[in-house]
Amino acid sequence: MRGLFITFEGIEGCGKSTQVKLLAEWLRATGREVLLTREPGGPVISEEIRRVLLNPDTPEMLPETELLLYMASRSQHTGELIIPALESGQDVISDRYYDSTIAYQGAARNIDLEWIKRLTDYATYSLKPDITFLLDISVEESTRRLTERCLDRIEKEKCDFHQKVREGFLTLANSEPERFKVLDGTAPIDVISIAIINETEKYMKRGL
């Protein structure tokens, strides 16, 4: 049987990485095999592209270059890692996937959404996540959480950029309510984790 494909989205500092690990622990405790991955990143080629994309010393990168690099990383990530894992029966949990491109390069960089969607279909081999958890926090909370972090090129963007990203994510969630589960990212970690596990269990039961 094909594995579950679950993605996590949200603005910087929303707590995705913590929840990704907690969900993986729970799934493994139920006897399932789980692959944890991230975007940009995953296989070696995609990790190399990640270093270019997030390098804080290249603020001159054009939005178009940024978009194409994300798509190149995603194509390798999906084809080399995600699809084979799903087909082998593993569950795949990814910290970000193509919704981030729609929010960051579409809503915030103002690149044409239809063009992004066409590239996304090509780069992902038309693969869609089964469930997407959006951890929503304010830009003010994001800034507070990033205070002690060494910021990458995207994290260094101004507050109005991150506000557009947040709005882009919420618009996406409203357009696909069956796939997206929006959670309050300021809630206690264990409360968020329980909500995520409950939603995942519901999906798994529907698939039986």
Q: What is the mean pLDDT of the chain?
A: 97
**What would the two tokens of residue 44 be?**
């070696």
Residue 1: the pLDDT is: 86
Helix locations, the chain, DSSP H: 16-29, 44-54, 63-76, 83-87, 98-101, 113-124, 139-145, 159-175, 189-206
Helix (H) or strand (E) holding 8: strand 5-9
pLDDT at 148: 78
Write down the pLDDT at residue 208. Answer: 55
* CA–CA distances in Å: residue 169 to residues 34, 79, 85: 26, 25, 27
Instruction: Note the pLDDT tens digit of each residue in 140-175.
Output: 999 999 987 889 999 999 999 999 999 999 999 999
Those residues of the chain that have pLDDT short of 70 are 207-208
Domains plus CATH for the chain?
5-206 (3.40.50.300)
Decide the pairing of beta strands 5-9 and 91-95.
parallel
Angle, vertex CA 7, rays to CA 179 and CA 42, nearest 5? 150
